Amino acid sequence: MELIEQTRGYRNRWIALAFMAISLLVISLDNTVLSLALPSIAEGLGSSASQLQWVVDAYILAIAGLLLTMGYLGDRLGRKPTLMAGLGIFALFSLGAALSNSTGMLIAMRALMGIGAAIILPATLSILTATFRDSKERAQAIALWAATFALGMGIGPLIGGWLLENFSWHSVFYINIPVIAIGLVGGGYFIENSKTEHPRRLDIPGAILSIAGLFALVYAIIQAGMEGWGATHVLYAFGAAAVLLGAFILWELKFKGAMLPLRFFKNMSFTGANVALTLVAFGLMGAFFFLGQFLQSVQGYSPFEAGLRLLPMALVSFISAVMSAKVAERIGTKLTVAIGIFIAAIGFFYLYRIAAVDTAYLNIAIAMSITSLGIGMTMSPATNSVMGSIPVSQSGIGSAMNNTTRQVGAALGVAILGSILNATYLSRIDAVNWPAQLPAQALEAIRSSIQGAHIVAQQVPVPQLSQLIIDQSNEAFTAGSAQALLVATIVMAVTAVIALIILPSRVRGPEE
């Protein structure tokens, strides 16, 4: 049973959805806006490359580690107050990030922002599920929820580019505050509260084990992408994750009031959709990681110009996500998800085939649009499959699981595809017969990244050598990106087959 005010809440459900979307939008925007601000942050705070990595990764670690627990607590304590608290935390520490005067302070603020995001993400989707009880309406509402997330990821670079061209890097954090203020005021008035009426005993051991295990897993993935999969502390972290998550599973099997009831995984609408979401996030974030750098570092666009060129990706994904509920209603969840993933694989493959330093933007836009069409078609039906397969009373934990799989998949995508890109980049750079006058320190900077190579090229007084550095680093980066895109294509094609095999044609509801 659910404790929910049906009358006023039902009348205002679509208005409430708009404010849930605004709450989600701030998370989606923040993820992409920050990526463009990193060079400005490095210049303003004197941050090293590893410190910049932690500005991003501290946030990811906090979200991934806390999502399950925060979704679980939202079900018990009330989803609306939980959402309001998450928005308040995110706003407070966005202000702290904007006022940071050192990289260490910024990393700490980003981790604390991640706590707010870990509360917001599952709360929005669980409130939506509790509010929209009709299955057709819920599918359409989730389609709009997914479309909002896609739109935020797409317009983030555009907004970020404009802010960075007109203001300092601090502005990418200040922008969160007015958006959250709208979400707090409107959501406070229109969103109705819901929670589990008869919660069982609090699963404290499950919460501790899930936080520690997911933290160790995502940390291991991040560090593997930076330092190599065979590094000693990376192996230790993977080992710790295996032990902790194994203990979490054993405890959840034993404890009657389990935080994550493992019986959910018997329902392929839940398990199949989560697998699909994980692997789609893998490919999507890996490609996003490539595209932003390619447009700026290789093709020389400014942050705003690059953001403008990524806009078609957002618009196609938004439209596709909005329409996906109707498609799924007509042909079923299985076919919609599988076809969407396969279309995305075609887009990745086309991008792989055309990858070159001088690739025309029109071809890139076509490839991005194909990929976005598939991603938008996939995300909403897969999310609806997860949420429709669990009891409404536990929608918070279902939403948290849905978002946790995306975070883990995204971290894996950046780590694995980034490792492939870096390995190819290094092998190409090391194969160049560099002139003897190039200092060892300069060569090491060239090997570190394409951005480092371009900085060295600007400092070299010999024009021919400067052009050689730019040409070789651009070619090496593009070749590495092509290899990563080929792997992403294979992963997506395999995922489409998996979806066809294990996803039910229609969403199977929870066991009564």
Looking at CATH, the fold of the domain delimited by 2-200+257-425+479-502 is given as: Growth Hormone; Chain: A; (1.20.1250)
For residue 466, give the nearest of 434, 488, 510, 419 by alpha carbon. 434
pLDDT greater at residue 429 or residue 394:
429
Which pLDDT belongs to residue 2? Answer: 44
Which pLDDT belongs to residue 388? Answer: 87
Which pLDDT belongs to residue 111? Answer: 93
Asked whether 173 and 46 are in contact (CB, 8 A), the reply is no
| Element (DSSP H or E) covering residue 176 | helix 176-190
Taking the C-alpha atoms of residue 231 and residue 421, their distance in angstroms, rounded to an integer, is 18
Please give the model's pTM, rounded to 2 decimal places: 0.85
Q: In whole numbers, what is the pLDDT of the chain averaged over residues?
A: 87
| 1 pLDDT tier (thresholds 50, 70, 90) | very low
328 Cα distance to chain centroid: 24
Asked whether 447 and 430 are in contact (CB, 8 A), the reply is yes
Which pLDDT belongs to residue 150? Answer: 78
| 4 pLDDT tier (thresholds 50, 70, 90) | very low
Which pLDDT belongs to residue 261? Answer: 85
Three-state DSSP string of 312-341: HHHHHHHHHHHHHHHHHHHHCHHHHHHHHH
pLDDT greater at residue 5 or residue 343:
343
* Tokens linked to 16: 């409430």
Neighbours of 184 (CB within 10 A): 18
For residue 61, give the nearest of 408, 507, 319, 511 by alpha carbon. 408
Using DSSP's 3-state secondary structure scheme, residue 487 falls into helix
Which pLDDT belongs to residue 202? Answer: 80
Give whichever of 30-44, 274-288, 479-493 has the largest mean pLDDT.
Answer: 479-493
Which pLDDT belongs to residue 26? Answer: 86
| 8 pLDDT tier (thresholds 50, 70, 90) | low
How large a percentage of the chain has pLDDT more than 90? 38
Using DSSP's 3-state secondary structure scheme, residue 246 falls into helix
Sign of CA dihedral 285, 368, 418, 440: negative
- The pLDDT tens digits for 460-492 are 888 889 999 999 999 999 999 999 999 999 999
Checking if the pLDDT of 374 tops 90, the result is: yes
Which pLDDT belongs to residue 255? Answer: 86
* Tokens linked to 46: 């004197």
Question: Residue ranges of the domains in the chain?
Answer: 2-200+257-425+479-502, 205-256
| 5 pLDDT tier (thresholds 50, 70, 90) | very low
* Cβ within 8 Å of residue 330, ≥6 positions away: none
- The pLDDT tens digits for 109-142 are 999 999 999 999 888 888 888 888 788 888 888 8
Helices (H) and strands (E) in the chain, counts: 18, 2
Phi, psi of 166 (to 5 degrees): -115, -20
Asked whether 206 and 252 are in contact (CB, 8 A), the reply is yes
> Region 177-200: what's the mean pLDDT?
85
- Distances in Å between the Cα of 416 and the Cα atoms of 252, 281, 409, 473, 481 are 30, 12, 10, 21, 12
Which pLDDT belongs to residue 512? Answer: 40
Checking if the pLDDT of 226 tops 80, the result is: no
> Region 253-274: what's the mean pLDDT?
88
Which pLDDT belongs to residue 110? Answer: 94
